[in-house]
Chain A
Amino acid sequence: MSLFSVLSIGASGMAAQRARAELLVENLANAETTRTPEGGPYRRKDVVFESTPVASPFASVFDTQIQAAGGVAVADVVTDNSDPERRYQPGHPDADADGYVAFPRVNPAEDMVDLMGAARSYEANVAAIGAVKDMIQRSIDLLH
């Protein structure tokens, strides 16, 4: 058990929240996108988190006493498969025979709130790393 592995846990949390924020921003940016390489309108994406054991330096040398404690990782990126929103826009180049255009089903308000949550969680992880860094520094100061 070392304090340095706590830094790895905090870093895994930061990486996971950053991945989440990236997808949320992608959703917001593509809220009105009607053309994608796969064809059809853009589909909303979201992350699934899972808790994982973190690889701490020297983990094989010093046995870790608390096995359960772990970091977080992105387990999967799920794509929203619900039907796209149909809006009547006959003049649009992507309109079908009836004049309806398929738009992505992205709710900007929902994604903005999620984005704020991701930013706050990121901050919490930064605070955890800061506190642990201070503890490590205090231990090192014992030598002076």
Chain B
Amino acid sequence: MLKTVVIAAAPGATKCWRAAMDWRGIPARLVDCKRLPKWRSKCFKYGGMLDPIAGQLERYMDLLSARQKLVASNIANADTPGYHTEDIDFQSEFQNAAGLAPRTIEVTGLAMKNDGNNVSLDRESRLLSENALRFQLASSLLRSEIQSVREAIKEGQSS
């Protein structure tokens, strides 16, 4: 009898990794999510093996990397005349559970220079290291989640 186990899929992806475990020994491969009997897309988010926390962490890391992109862009344009600092509203984007692409906003309350540029390198370098640290924490947490699943799989193999 063929058993299908979805291991991981990105949210909204049409393909999932499938490990087919049966007596024929079919190796893991990419299959169409819609053809799977039970777990469709977003299996990583609401999947059985990992906690729902893993999906939250994924979203958190997605947002952090989006924000880091804006910070890098601000730093690169620190001397571009007329450039305005951009950011995302982290709190509201994270609570927006729909998982849509984050919207960029212009940061207010920064000192405007004579050339119409309001990038503050102090603010950007603070955000740069803050995002890197937050990402480090999230990846450590996600890693320990995955580690516990991996432990379970290993134990099953060795016995």
Contacts and interface: CB of A to CB of B under 8 A. Distances in A.
Binding partners A and B: yes
Interface of A: 1-3, 5-6, 9-10, 12-13, 16-17, 20, 48-51, 65-66, 68-72, 117, 120-121, 124-125, 127-129, 131-132, 134-135, 138-139, 141-142
Interface of B: 61-62, 64-66, 68-73, 75-81, 83, 86, 101-102, 104, 121, 124-125, 128-129, 131-132, 135-136, 139, 142-143, 146
A9 B66 contact: no
A65 B101 contact: yes
Contact of A9 (B69, B121, B129): B69
A30 to B, nearest CB: 22
Given A49-B80, A50-B80, A51-B83, A141 B139 contact: yes
A135 B68 contact: yes
A120 B125 CA distance: 12
Contacts, number: 119
A102 B146 CA distance: 72
A68 B142 contact: no
Contacts of A2: 65
A72 B81 CA distance: 11
Contact of A66 (B80, B104, B128, B136): B104
